[in-house]
Amino acid sequence: MLTGRNLIRASDLNEQEVGLVLKNADSFMEVLKRKVKKVPTLRGKTIANIFFEPSTRTRNSFELAAKRLSADLVNFSASSSALKKGESIMDTIETIISLKLNLLVVRHGHSGVMDFISGKVGIPLINAGDGKNQHPTQALLDTYTIKQKFGSLQGLKVALVGDFLNSRVARSNVEMFSRMGMEVIVVAPSMLLPEDYSVLGTDILSDIDQVIDQVDVLYMLRMQFERQNRRFYPSIREYNRFLGLDRKRLNNMKKDSVVMHPGPVNRGIEISEEVMDSRDSKDRILISNQVTHGVAVRMSLLYLILSQQEEP
């Protein structure tokens, strides 16, 4: 069990613990297929969604996961909070904790803020994304989606393509995919990589065509325009030339290979409109699967952390 544990970065879980989360997600996928999609597992527990950044998929996924487990939920939005009156982040967190919560789900725009918060609170914390740093539950749901598709993870070849520099998803996925036995390749130009990219421990390529016919999973990273303080690529046309997925490149992929993306997709940049809207590519693009699996995986994580937790 993961009772009382924090999940701040992908490396917080070892291979066996990731396997435990995925195994329990199978059970919760069955729950989500029932007519009544709810179990009393976490009745009496209270979870707070504290999002200092906008979110659609992650926030709604955690909210639905908590409700499906019968937990009570407190939703916090920075835009309508006392932060607008000058209250500090920590004062806000402490105010929310005083409501006698069992777990915090936090998203924040500053990298590393989760370590600060975790040192100040006495209840479990799940990182729902911090700056350019980590997004561990996205890595879990992506790993689960790949396992559902291929059955086994060992030896699969995955290419992460695009804006690695500004992507917290990419950092978490490299760690988790590698730990679970997949071969990871990063495809990005030097201006979209961290200064010391040797620490990634993966092959680095600059052109998607170098791997398009070799990989089992083509994971297209979103261009993080909101986190870019300068222009990292000369033009969309230039980006498409080396990194974008169009119909021709989709046709050049391995027969049983798939396309993934953390969402939301910048249409015409990471993936062309034609590919996104084509009926015959729907089975190969697993973006909707990722969203669906996200609820089951987060249900599994909440269950494993909270089901045996003593009351605060």
**Domain 136-286 architecture:** 3-Layer(aba) Sandwich (3.40)
157 touches 216 (CB < 8 A): yes
Burial level of 51, CB count in 10 A (0-12/13-18/19+)? buried
* DSSP tag of 191: G
Q: How far is CA 179 from CA 5, 16, 96, 143, 304, in A?
A: 20, 10, 35, 11, 20
Candidates 45, 107, 132, 298; catalytic one: 107
10-135+292-306 shares its CATH topology with 136-286: yes
Candidates 9, 45, 58, 298; catalytic one: 58
Query: Of 11-25, 62-76, 298-312, which gets the smallest average pLDDT?
Result: 298-312
Helix, strand, coil in percent for the chain, rounding step 5: 45, 15, 40
* DSSP tag of 111: T
Across residues 98-120, what is the average pLDDT?
A: 92
3-state SS, residue 200 = helix
Spell out where 52-101 has E strands. Answer: 72-77
Q: Which two tokens stand for residue 209?
A: 């065509």
| Confidence at residue 33, expressed as pLDDT on a 0 to 100 scale | 95
- Could you tell me which of 122, 47, 80, 60 has the C-alpha nearest to residue 303? 47
- Residue located via tokens 């222009």: 231
Candidates 33, 85, 231, 255; catalytic one: 85
Across residues 269-289, what is the average pLDDT?
A: 92
Q: What is the pLDDT of residues 135-164, one digit of tens each?
A: 999 999 999 999 999 999 999 999 999 999
Candidates 5, 41, 57, 254; catalytic one: 57
Q: What is the pLDDT of residues 38-58, one digit of tens each?
A: 999 999 999 999 998 888 899
Going by pLDDT thresholds of 50, 70 and 90, the confidence category of residue 311 is low
Of the chain, the percentage scoring pLDDT greater than 90 comes to 73
Backbone dihedral region of 181: left (phi > 0), alpha (psi from -120 to 50 degrees) or beta?
left
For residue 99, pLDDT beyond 60: yes
| Confidence at residue 119, expressed as pLDDT on a 0 to 100 scale | 87
| Confidence at residue 211, expressed as pLDDT on a 0 to 100 scale | 97
Q: Does domain 10-135+292-306 have CATH number 3.50.50.60?
A: no
Of the chain, the percentage scoring pLDDT greater than 70 comes to 92
203 touches 164 (CB < 8 A): no
For residue 282, pLDDT beyond 60: yes
247 is catalytic: no
Structural domain boundaries in the chain: 10-135+292-306, 136-286
168 is catalytic: no
Query: Of 58-67, 73-82, 122-131, which gets the smallest average pLDDT?
Result: 73-82
Candidates 135, 222, 249, 261; catalytic one: 135
Across residues 63-88, what is the average pLDDT?
A: 79
| Confidence at residue 133, expressed as pLDDT on a 0 to 100 scale | 94
135 is catalytic: yes
Q: Is the pTM of this model over 0.85?
A: yes
107 is catalytic: yes
| Confidence at residue 74, expressed as pLDDT on a 0 to 100 scale | 92
110 is catalytic: no
Q: b/e map of 200-220 (b: 16 or more CB within 10 Å)?
A: bebeebeebeebbeebbbbbb
| Confidence at residue 239, expressed as pLDDT on a 0 to 100 scale | 86
| Confidence at residue 66, expressed as pLDDT on a 0 to 100 scale | 98
Spell out where the chain has E strands. Answer: 46-51, 72-77, 103-108, 125-130, 157-161, 183-187, 203-205, 217-220, 258-260
Q: What is the pLDDT of residues 170-214, one digit of tens each?
A: 999 999 999 999 999 999 988 899 887 776 789 999 999 999 999
In single-letter form, the type of residue at position 125 comes to: L
Across residues 209-234, what is the average pLDDT?
A: 82
